[in-house]
Structure 1
Amino acid sequence: MPREDIAFQTSDNVTLRGWFYTPEASSTTPLPCLVITHGFSAVKEMNLDVLAARFTCSLPISCLVYDHRGFGASDNQPSAPRQEIIPSLQCSDISDAITYAQGREDVNKEKIGIWGTALSGGHALYVGAVDRRVKAVLSQVPVVSGWENAQRLARPGNVAELNHLFQEDRLARAAGKPAGTIPAVDLNPLAISALSLPEAYEWLAGYSLYKNEVTVKTIEEFRAYNPSANIHHISPTPLLMTVVENDDLMPTDLALAAYARALEPKELQLLPGSHFSVFGPNFEKTVERQVDFLKRTLLA
């Protein structure tokens, strides 16, 4: 599929970089556009190219894919550390990506959808609830409550240790020292890391472009993030939530409880398997359902 390297500015003047995909067959009319962002600490080269190519191969649609600020090819504020995730800023950047898409002559500005997975699956729920320009929301294995999610991932004694780490990092940064960092994933279940499950390490660390590091503040921000608080406000925008039955990373029961609070029109795709199966054995089923959803909503 045709792919263009793109860059756009956020509302606070950060340059984000990515790709703009279009179908092979040229169109004389502006096409709907799907904005696609990756999950916790991942970069666009980790399957988002495959995903965008599939969507544009299957549908008369364009796809905007980009790296979050401070990750991959995207810039960050000069005073801010790289590898730091501030959910509110990432959500704001999604809205800025929508604005960029709407400003393109080849995009139908009235037909913009958003797609997110894991952490950005939570972003999709948040942005879909507050940005009324969004006409379709696809949320895949999402974070729905950072607080509850963090409690599930914590080992005994880990919470007190993390609270102390947050305090020390705040003091150090206030004194002008560099931001503290921890591994995003670690095979040692006793080590301090963001995602301590082996499946997270195996999937994320398997990519050569992946940098296994996030700031300490990232974990504090994650714990405070509650992206599903306004899930009932997504309506009347159509919502498709993809959930797997054995998700230990973004717990299944939390996602299902959040889905129950969403209003119609909504659809649930419940698949067997674990968190990363949506990029593995469940990839075909997941994408087929998402293509069908987009055909019936964004392209209707």
Structure 2
Amino acid sequence: MVLERVAFQTSDDVTIRGWFFTPCSSSSTPLPCLVMCHGFSALKEMDLNTFAEYFTSKLPISCLVFDHRGFGESDTKEGQPRYEIIPSQQTSDISDAITYAQSRSDVDADKIGLWGSSYSGGHALWVGATDKRIKVVLSQVPCVDGYSNFQRLIRPDFVANMNELFQKDRLERASGKPPGMLPVIDANPLNPSALPTPDSYDFFSTWAKKCDWQNKVTLRSIEALREYYPSAHIHRIAPTPLLMTVAVNDVLSPTDLSLEAFSRALEPKTLQMLPGGHFEAYSGPNFERNAAFQAEFLKSHLAHTN
């Protein structure tokens, strides 16, 4: 495996930075490319390199892995805050990442795949339906319905206060004040946070000791989650092959919501069920099972030779 640090410009002139992985063996012909991106506030260092290394060691493909705008090594637009997650911006940036991949001489521009996990698992469904340059979609433990997800994550007796925070933040931003921020995780479940599940706390607090992840997002990011319905067009992904990986006991991206969304997808589609919860898709006993299944799917639909 060979790793190259790369950067590309988005359509609104923001610099996105990431890694480009290629197999160790040299190839005289352009390779298929899998564009990969992480979930809510997560950075590329949080196991995406492990997946990319696995895929490029098993298959004749390259992988483009990047940080979303405003996170990790990527810039944000001048005058806009860091740590803000606006789905329409992130999905647009994914399409720009596809354009960058297609522009490389070592990439087969007609064989671009998309891999997204968690929040970006939802993005993969949205972009996979609307950007027809994509030849295969892998959606891992995806957020499929932001409104329903919000209602599951936020205790009913906390919602009114959250709505007040949204209103206050909009008024303050309109008056020129900095955006309101919220922790992504909090050890105390009674304190407001974006991802108030025990496994979210364990995952992100562990990674915070290993990389430059910051425990904050803008309040607007939470409001944007509630209005986002990434599986709205899932039936329009076809005839592009779709693989959805769902955890049996997922409480962050609830299992039943993902299965309902998958039922609306058209063929060709494949469902992979993994034991455990949301974050067990990334590492531990599940990793080899998960990555091997995804690699076989990629072998059939992206890395095959004509």
Q: TM-score, normalised by structure 1?
A: 0.99
- Please give the root-mean-square deviation of Cα atoms over the aligned residues, in Å: 0.6
Q: Distance in 2 between matches of 1:2 and 1:126?
A: 30
Q: Percent identity?
A: 61
Q: Distance in 1 between matches of 2:53 and 2:132?
A: 26
> Is the contact between residue 184 and residue 214 of structure 1 (CA under 8 Å) also seen in structure 2?
yes
Higher mean displacement: 233-242 or 202-211: 202-211
- 2:263 matches 1:260: yes
Report the 3-state secondary structure (helix = DSSP H, G, I; strand = E; otherwise coil) of the residue aligned with 2:18: strand
Q: Distance in 1 between matches of 2:39 and 2:186?
A: 17
> Is the contact between residue 186 and residue 198 of structure 1 (CA under 8 Å) also seen in structure 2?
no
> Is the contact between residue 243 and residue 269 of structure 1 (CA under 8 Å) also seen in structure 2?
yes
Deviations 1:21-72 (A, max 9, x none): 0000000000000000000000011111111111100100000000000000
Report the 3-state secondary structure (helix = DSSP H, G, I; strand = E; otherwise coil) of the residue aligned with 1:5: strand
Q: Distance in 2 between matches of 1:150 and 1:156?
A: 10
- 2:226 matches 1:234: no
> Is the contact between residue 41 and residue 214 of structure 1 (CA under 8 Å) also seen in structure 2?
yes
Deviations 1:122-179 (A, max 9, x none): 0000000000000000000000000001101111311111110000000010010001
Look up the match of 1:129.
Answer: 129
Q: Distance in 2 between matches of 1:227 and 1:66?
A: 20
Look up the match of 1:87.
Answer: 87
Deviation at 1:204, TM superposition (A): 1.0
Deviations 1:234-287 (A, max 9, x none): 000000000011001100000000000000000000111011110133111110
Look up the match of 1:192.
Answer: 192
Report the 3-state secondary structure (helix = DSSP H, G, I; strand = E; otherwise coil) of the residue aligned with 1:264: coil
Q: Give unpaired runs (5+ residues) of structure 1.
A: none
> Is the contact between residue 146 and residue 225 of structure 1 (CA under 8 Å) also seen in structure 2?
yes
> Is the contact between residue 187 and residue 197 of structure 1 (CA under 8 Å) also seen in structure 2?
no
- 2:107 matches 1:107: yes
Q: TM-score, normalised by structure 2?
A: 0.97
Q: Distance in 2 between matches of 1:139 and 1:49?
A: 17
Deviation at 1:232, TM superposition (A): 0.1
Q: Distance in 2 between matches of 1:225 and 1:139?
A: 16
Query: Which residue of 240, 245, 249 maps to 2:248?
Result: 245
Look up the match of 2:26.
Answer: 26
Flag as ranges the 4+ runs of structure 1 deviating above 3 A.
none
Q: Distance in 2 between matches of 1:77 and 1:237?
A: 32
Query: Which residue of 287, 292, 295 maps to 1:288?
Result: 292
Q: Give unpaired runs (5+ residues) of structure 2.
A: none
**Count of aligned residue pairs for this structure pair:** 300
Q: Distance in 2 between matches of 1:50 and 1:270?
A: 20
Report the 3-state secondary structure (helix = DSSP H, G, I; strand = E; otherwise coil) of the residue aligned with 1:205: helix
